[in-house]
A and B are shown apart, each in its own frame.
Chain A
Amino acid sequence: MTTITDHLPIDVQGLRKTYGDFAAVDHLDLQVRPGEVFALLGPNGAGKTTTVDMLCGVQRRTGGTVSVLGEDPHHDSRQWRNRLGVVPQNTGDYLNLTVREVVEMFATFYSDPIPTDELISMVGLTAKAGAKTNALSGGQKRRLDVAVGVVGKPELIFLDEPTTGLDPQARREAWDLVDYFRELGATTVLTTHYLDEAETLADRAGVIAAGRMLAIGTIDELGRTAGYSANVTVTDLEGVAGVIPSDLGVLEPDARADRRGGVLIGTDQPTAVVERLTRLAREQGFGEIPGLTVSRPTLEDTYLRLIQREDAQR
């Protein structure tokens, strides 16, 4: 039997992690395909790190079935670790060792490591190769973390917020590294707060909140997950709800920080919506509809809507 699922690097069914009554991860399903970059998105405390920790064998799951590179992470075999790269969320410290010494030591543990100097150059630390790690800046330490995580030329890489704390330049370099491993055929799972990072890097993404997968799909698919092909937004217009019937569009407060107080209308008929808004604006004495935008939903729109809806339910 040769179906695509036979080769899924990650296949998770009903994954759960509970602490007493609290479910950090709640019946989560996840399939990651070979060679893709998968982004796990969600607010702080959504369960992203707990999920990744369970997949790379750092935390034990309460329930569900998990296959990572064809193995249950509980088995934790050396051969399995040899094929896996993990960059944890917390930045590591190595006291009085130099960058090169740290990378060299970790390289010793793998069967086919990336040559040390090549890797150090890939993460942009060549100038610091001989420097003690405690003399590195936060961003440089994070890059060393990435080097330590991928030194074994992994087939599957977990990056838990790899670019948090990096300056824009260093972030680009980290992105290049993800592309490098994509070209090698590796599969990458990354958690991130940055939606632009997911949009740039990821083939597919999942949005998780309160331990549950709210939506999963390609970045384009996720843009449509909110259910409408267009977003119309206005600000400072009274009585919008009265002119947009529910079969024409759905109103939500505009969640973007710079447009607080505005209204966002998800619709498949943007022209009809704008017509009605135009009438409403004229009635209120506006020549132009205040703050009008019409756009295709982005990952950010979907993300904010999903998170908002989730918050409203709790």
Chain B
Amino acid sequence: MTMTSSRPTTTASSAPPAPAHRPLPGLWRTSLARSVSELRVFFRNPQSVVFTLALPVILLMIFGSIFSGKIEGTDTDFKQYFVAGIVAAGIMSTAFTGLAINVALEREMGLIRRLAGSPMPKASYFVGKVVLVLVTSLLEALILIALGTALFGLDLPSDADHWIAFGWIFVLGTAACALSGLAYTALIPSANSAAAIVTPPFLVLQFISGVFFPFNQLPEWMQTTAGIFPLKWMTQGLRYVFLPDGFSAVEPGGVWNLPLIAMALGFWVLLAGFLTAITFKWRGPKVR
């Protein structure tokens, strides 16, 4: 059964003649297919819709109804403060928590392995995730803003500047959370434990980043710790969008500090993007 002793040398000359193939589909087409698939899977699954989208809404309804009174040293109702914070937390919920659990599940269901085995450009998987997260986060933010406005006295900004700020804070914040979520999947051993491992950072950051408590009243070490992570910068940015300008008096340094917010979120986009690039696994023991 031994054939000749010469071996192919993996160069083009010795490779089997490749049949004339049509060109491979472009990144746009494959990314579109992934994005459509992502949105279908998400919106057809009542669990993902309820747990990802509804939790912040429930929190808004509960705490929005409990909290009362003005924030110390300001004319601002704590309800409004809380609404701005919960919008940021809602974005983190869909982009970080939802995405990390979703990827851990897909890893175990065999989807990631099969995508890796196909000629799909790897980038298309991430484009699909970005589209999913942008759509769900925007939906989440709009629901929370609508409820906040209707029920808890949130004032919508009337000038373009604030809406432009909302736009870039939303995009940078969503990107930072989504990429962190992708990187964080490296720490999740299995889909069973995904929710348990993803929830603590989300929960803790909500408490120290100015969602449930006014940030300026937190101990300084807590403020410093929160300042390392993106959620604090997202809540601060959204307070600029939704709270009266005068509220900046109780912000750190007495200013909104938009440039620093942009830098902090931009830094997290780069850092989490880098971590995702070096830790994301298309194969290996966790990828079934």
CA distance A110 to B3 in the complex (A): 34
- Cross-chain contact A216 with B22 (CB below 8 angstroms): no
Q: What residues of chain B lie closer than 8 Å to A104, measured between beta carbons?
A: 33
Contact with A along B144-163 (1 / 0, CB 8 A): 00000000000000000000
- State how many angstroms separate the Cβ of A162 from the closest Cβ of chain B: 14
Least Cβ–Cβ distance between A292 and chain B, in angstroms:
34
- A104 to B120: give the CA distance in the assembly, Å: 13
Spot the interface stretch: B51-59, B110-118, B247-255: B110-118
Tell me, yes or no, whether A173 is within 8 Å of chain B by CB: no
Q: Is A314 an interface residue (CB 8 A)?
A: no
- The CA of A125 and the CA of B21, in the complex, are separated in Å by 28
Chain A nearest Cβ from B177, distance in angstroms: 22
Check if A70 sits within 8 Å of B40, measured CB to CB.
Answer: no
Q: Which residues on the B side are within 8 Å of A3 (C-beta)?
A: 3-4, 6
**Cβ of A108 and Cβ of B25 under 8 Å apart?**
yes
Q: Hey, which chain B residues are within 8 Å of A109, CB to CB? A: 25, 30, 33, 118-120
- Asked if A94 is an interface residue, CB under 8 A from chain B, the answer is yes
Q: How extensive is the interface on chain A, given as a class?
A: 35 or more
Return the contact of A221 from the options B1, B23, B117 (Cβ within 8 A).
B1
Residue in chain A with minimal CB distance to B117:
A86
Q: Does A268 lie at the interface of the complex (its beta carbon under 8 Å from any beta carbon of B)?
A: no
A135 touches B (CB below 8 Å): no
Contacts A70-B14, A112-B22 given: A5-B3 contact, CB under 8 Å? yes
Does B222 make an interface contact (CB < 8 A)? no
B40 touches A96 (CB 8 A): yes
**B117 and A81 contact, CB distance less than 8 A:** yes
A90 contacts chain B at the CB level, 8 A cutoff = yes
Give the A-binding residues of B (Cβ under 8 A). 1, 3-4, 6-8, 10, 12, 14-19, 21-25, 29-30, 33-34, 36-37, 40-41, 44-45, 109-111, 113-114, 116-121, 283, 288
- Which residues of A come within 8 Å of B, CB atoms? 1, 3-9, 11, 13, 31, 34, 56-59, 65, 67, 69-72, 78-79, 81-84, 86, 88, 90-97, 101, 104-106, 108-112, 148-149, 152, 155, 216-217, 221
User: Apart from A70-B16, A86-B117, A152-B118, what 12 extra A-B contacts exist at CB < 8 Å?
Assistant: A4-B3, A7-B17, A58-B283, A67-B10, A70-B10, A72-B10, A79-B119, A90-B110, A93-B111, A105-B37, A111-B23, A149-B114
